[in-house]
Amino acid sequence: MRANLSLLGVAFIATTLSAASVHAQGWLADRSRAEGSGIRLGNFELHPGVGAEGGYDSNVFLSENPQDSPVLRIAPHLYLQTLGAERSGDAGPPPVEFKAGVSGSLKHYFETQAGTNIGAGQDAKLTLRPGAIVTFELSEEFKRNIDPFTDPGVQIPDTVPDPDDPPVEETPADSDLSFARDQLSLGARAQLGTPGGVFKAGLGYKFAIDHFEADEFAANRANSHTVSGDTSWEFFPKTALFWDGSVTRNNFINSTDELSLDEMAMEPSLRNDSTTTKTRLGLNGGLTARVGFTLAGGYGAGFFDAGDGFEAVLAQAEIRWRPEETILWSFGYDRETTSSYQGNFVRMDRIKTGTQLMLGGIVVIQGRVELAFLNFGVDPELGERDDMQFLATLSGEYRLVDWFAITAEANYWQNFTDFVYVNELGEEDAAKYKRFEGWLGVRAFL
């Protein structure tokens, strides 16, 4: 049974360090870690699981004036897939590969108006003839994220207060404000490859919907169409020369240039439709048996229906070291420019490091530290903005048996910036914040 754990450990270590989200629980952000040995159902295997944790959040609304709260988090998941490598052995890839999963996350804040909410995740991916010369993929993903992502702001009274009146204590803008954000994406990709996969070329399309449930965030609602292409050539010993590129058309449901002047005055910042394109060329693979690397450079450009666009050099450098089979450490740098809800776009320079460990087949530890420098485009409403973001996460679990573990997680975020939002009354709301959260719980999984 320890052998099974080791296999899981190797699979877990093999995943990309940066795949984790800062919002999801440690294990739900990494499917290979969440899965246990599973239950075989004919040509499929099922991986159910549930976790329950108690925690503390020092700054629920990411505000300069933090509201803290104890939190309860319950997260079930259910994954279904065609037989994995451990079960199918040397049989080779099946003609059809299928993976699907559904997960939930109930959160209850005991001491803030955030109250109780339910997040959800669901995804499915169908691959026809994996490993063949022609492969076709269909994918779908849905996420409902409930974590507050900004300060709710300050309530604006209906009448302007008399300056002679005594100051009133600041109150949250809307105690029932929902931060629920629904994201749906549907994609298809065709791949042509030589036998053995030495050369591959793919062409894909993705449609995505980004929906903020609360009317207060309606300006952020958008959908996008992305056409992407990629190709790679693998050579000795395990290295690939790769290229990928994409063109994305992003449409806000209520873009700024389609609003009347009155409506525009109510918008917090720019919401301009855009077409962005990116291309990247690089090398990825192994330098030695224990050292891997990624080195890539590219070009990106964004064309917005109004406001400034961008042209940018993109870069990616990462080195990975695996001193033991179940220990991985990485260090890297990213330079990226993406669309933003403020100033049309944001340029990012990020230094990051991370580690994943499985010790003795029973202790799993993941850690990540990032320092990112953000430079936003100039927003006519909000002006200029520069941020520095620091992120440190550490999560781990101790597996008492093959299907039950004690989990722990600690996260620290801090956003350093001089930027302040100003409302109609001239009241300031600083964009800087810091947040700590800690979790302790148990989870059962198969």
Partner 1 sequence: MQRKSLKTVMFLGVIAGLASAVAAQETNEQPAQPPPAPTNPADMVAQGEGVVESGAALSTTVSGLVREATEDGDVMKVTCLNDKQTEIDGNLSTAQQHLKALRGTSDPGVRAHEHTMLMVIGQKLDTLGQEAGQCVGQDLYETGETAVDTIIDEDMLPFEDEPSVPPMVLPPSLPTLPPPESGMR
Among 70, 95, 157, 237, binds partner 1 (CB under 8 A): 237
Among 59, 69, 220, 395, binds partner 1 (CB under 8 A): 220
Q: Which stretch binds partner 1 (CB under 8 A): 69-77, 91-99, 107-115, 366-374?
A: 366-374
Among positions 36-95, residues that touch partner 1 (CB under 8 A) are 62
Per-residue x/- track, 384-413, partner 1 (CB under 8 A): ---x-x-x---------------------x
Q: Which stretch binds partner 1 (CB under 8 A): 87-95, 98-106, 109-117, 149-157?
A: 149-157
Smallest distance from the beta carbon of 352 to partner 1, in angstroms?
9
Taking Cα atoms as reference points, which of 120, 63, 65, 105 lies closest to residue 439? 105
Nearer to partner 1, 1 or 289 (CB): 289
Tokens 């990020």 found at: 350
Taking Cα atoms as reference points, which of 33, 37, 39, 35 lies closest to residue 49? 35
Smallest distance from the beta carbon of 71 to partner 1, in angstroms?
18
Number of H helices, E strands in the chain: 4, 21
DSSP-derived letter for residue 424 is T
Contacts of 310-315 with C-beta under 8 Å, sequence gap 24+, read 310/337, 310/344, 310/345, 310/347, 310/377, 312/337, 312/347, 314/278, 314/280
Where do the DSSP E strands lie in 236-362? 239-252, 274-286, 291-304, 310-324, 327-339, 345-359
Q: Does 97 bind partner 1 (CB under 8 A)?
A: no
Taking Cα atoms as reference points, which of 227, 230, 231, 229 lies closest to residue 248? 227
Strand, coil or helix: 361: coil
Nearer to partner 1, 350 or 443 (CB): 350
Among 22, 41, 313, 406, binds partner 1 (CB under 8 A): 22
Among positions 198-217, residues that touch partner 1 (CB under 8 A) are 200, 214, 216-217
Nearer to partner 1, 68 or 216 (CB): 216
Among positions 255-314, residues that touch partner 1 (CB under 8 A) are 265-269, 282, 284-292, 294, 296, 314
Q: Does 318 bind partner 1 (CB under 8 A)?
A: yes
Among positions 247-266, residues that touch partner 1 (CB under 8 A) are 265-266
Among positions 162-181, residues that touch partner 1 (CB under 8 A) are 173-174, 177
Q: For the chain, how are helix, strand and coil distributed in percent, rounded to 5?
A: 10, 60, 35
